[in-house]
Amino acid sequence: MTDEERNIITSVWNDMVLRKKLEDDPYSLTSEELYALENNDKLNEKIALLVKDALVRRAITNNERFFSH
């Protein structure tokens, strides 16, 4: 497995082992592990924004339906 593949897997699956390692001994993390955690944080932020956007769109649609009758 390449480093890039490992980073992708970590980013997608939110590797809790690295999170625990970050809490317990942050200076033991390699630059690749820190990069993977950073990517995971960015992915989680994007997902949160997409969910928020979807909820706002649904609320607007429901509001339009409610007031159009």
- Domain residue spans of the chain: 3-68
Q: Are 9 and 20 in contact (CB under 8 A)?
A: no
d(CA 26, CA 29): 6
Token readout for 57 is 């769109």
Mean pLDDT per 10-residue segment, the chain (69 residues): 81 79 94 90 92 95 84
pLDDT at res. 69: 65
pLDDT at res. 14: 66
d(CA 13, CA 44): 11
pTM over 0.95: no
Strands (E) in 1-69, as ranges, are: none
